[in-house]
Amino acid sequence: MQDTARPSGDSYVMTEAGIRLFYRVVGKGPSVVIVPNGIYLLDAFIRLADDERTLIFYDMRNRGQSDPVNDASQLAAGIHNDVDDLEVIRQHFGIGEVDLIGHSYVGLMVVLYAMKHPAHVGRIVQIGAPQPDANKQYPSHLTGDDGMLAEVFAKIAQLKNEWPSDDPVEACRRWWSVFRAIYVVDPADADKIDWGRCHLPNERNLMKYWTGSILPSIQRLTLSAEDFAQVTMPVLTIHGTRDRSAPYGGARDWVSALPNARLVTVENAAHAPWIEAPEKVFGSMTTFLNGSWPREAEPPASFGA
């Protein structure tokens, strides 16, 4: 990233549709990593920024501090809108080749971006990404299904009437106080999940956007061998074996389908493995972003049944 392109402080990028995307830049190094939807990760991931590496965190369309979008036609494409907006971010900063970090469904989105713009991607880190085929079912040992999801949703249904209908911020906070338990294995770590950002209307209305636009666009995806073949750059997939939001089997499928990918398995970790194994996760990411495969990264040939 050229010095003339680097902003000072937080700011916005404007898309062709006139939607402003909020971003924050940390670090001052020549190597640039973009973290879409990464503002909630900033406090933990800021350690990756230094004199050699700059990180750009931004809120995606209709998320966080980016503009709310009321025109349904500007949301209908779901995850494909996010792919196009990532290209807007890259062009805004004048970056020829960028590394990408994607957590959760953004781990899928950054690979879709690489399929569409392979010349502009150097390296990709996926963390807890959903499986390539949304309709595939996995055996129990390749999922984190331990009954916790059902338990949490039952508790939310039980408590929902007790939450203040006239205070959406407080209702959002109480929802997250229950729901965050699914993202970690050890209940003692649940209070480390602070992703709600309930003071922001976009985040309080996330579930409507997710179920109405993002999730259907993911479910409609049909990726071919030719699509995977476009992603020739190194991809590091990091996944917890007890991830309840995205099955561990999906991580194996990504690494098996992509030409140049390896898997870091985090035993007994859920959807936020950097909380439960910080040295392993951040150590692996640092080694990878510095240009090498981490020692723990396994090629698909090493996978068992």
CA distance 180 to 106: 18
pLDDT band at 161 (very low <50, low <70, confident <90, very high): confident
User: For residue 296, with 0-12 CB atoms within 10 Å meaning exposed, 13-18 middle and 19 or more buried, which class applies?
Assistant: middle
Judge whether residue 2 has pLDDT over 80: no
pLDDT band at 5 (very low <50, low <70, confident <90, very high): very low
Six-digit token string for 99: 């590394």
E strand map for 91-243: 98-103, 121-127, 235-240
Say if CB 125 and CB 289 are below 8 A apart. yes
Please count the CA atoms within 13 angstroms of the CA of 28 that sit on its side-chain side: 5
pLDDT tens-digit series, residues 170-213: 999 999 999 999 999 999 999 999 999 999 999 999 999 999 99
Q: Identify the structural domains of the chain with CATH numbers, from first to last.
A: 3-143+210-302 (3.40.50.1820), 148-198 (no CATH)
Average of per-residue pLDDT values in the chain: 94
Six-digit token string for 204: 């309080």
Say if CB 108 and CB 134 are below 8 A apart. no
CA distance 144 to 142: 7
pLDDT of residue 7: 46
Q: What is the DSSP letter of 163?
A: S
pLDDT tens-digit series, residues 85-120: 999 999 999 999 999 999 999 999 999 999 999 999
Say if CB 100 and CB 108 are below 8 A apart. no
pLDDT tens-digit series, residues 124-153: 999 999 999 999 999 999 999 899 999 999
Say if CB 111 and CB 254 are below 8 A apart. yes
Angle at 120 (CA atoms; ends 252, 63), nearest 5 degrees:
75
Q: How many helices (H) and strands (E) does the chain have?
A: 12, 8
